Amino acid sequence: MSSRSRRQDFELQQLSERAKRHLDDAQAHLERRREIYVALNSGARRYRFHMMEDLYAMRSGADPAPATEVVRAEFQDTYAQAQMLVPDNVLQPCQAVRVELAEAKKLMESLTEDGAHDQQKWQETHTFLIQMWDAITAMQLAMRQDLGISTPPHP
C-alpha cells in the first residue's frame, strides 16, 4: 500500500469519525431537548393542576397546599434550564406559559388575601386557569414540531 493510499484511508477514517461524532452529538442534543420538553410540559400541567386544586380548596376555606409552591419552583428551575437549551421558536411559547402561570399565581394570591370570598375574583381565576390550556397546547405543539413529531399547520 502506498503512502498516498494510506493517507487517503486515514483521511477517510478521520472524516467518518467526525461525521459519527457529529451525528452522536446531534442525537444527544435532541435527547436533551426531548427530556426538557417532557419536564416543561409535565411541570406546567402539574403547576396548573395544583393551582386549580387550591382554588377549589380555597372555596371551602382551606389554604393553598404547600406542594403548589414546590411544583412552582420545580417548573421555574426547568424553565431556566430550557432557556439555555431550546430554540427560540420553542422558547417563546414556553415563555408565554411561564407568564400565564405567574399571572395565575398573582390571581391566586389576590384571592387568598381576600379570603376567597369574592365570587367574581374566584370565577375570574377559574376561567383564567381553564383558558391556560390554550397556551400549554401551543407550547406542546411547538415542542412536537421541533422534535419532528408534528408538522406545522397549513394555512
Smallest Cα–Cα separation from 56: which of 105, 134, 108? 108
Distance separating alpha carbons of residues 67 and 4, to the nearest angstrom: 68
Give how far Cα 26 sits from Cα of 32, 64, 90, 140, Å: 10, 43, 17, 21
Q: Rounded mean pLDDT of 127-146?
A: 97
Model-wide pTM > 0.85: no
Reported confidence tier of residue 154, pLDDT bands at 50, 70, 90: low
SS3 149: coil
More confident residue, 94 or 60: 94
Which domains, from first to last, does the chain contain? 3-146 (1.20.1440)
Distance separating alpha carbons of residues 120 and 133, to the nearest angstrom: 21
Q: Rounded mean pLDDT of 130-144?
A: 97
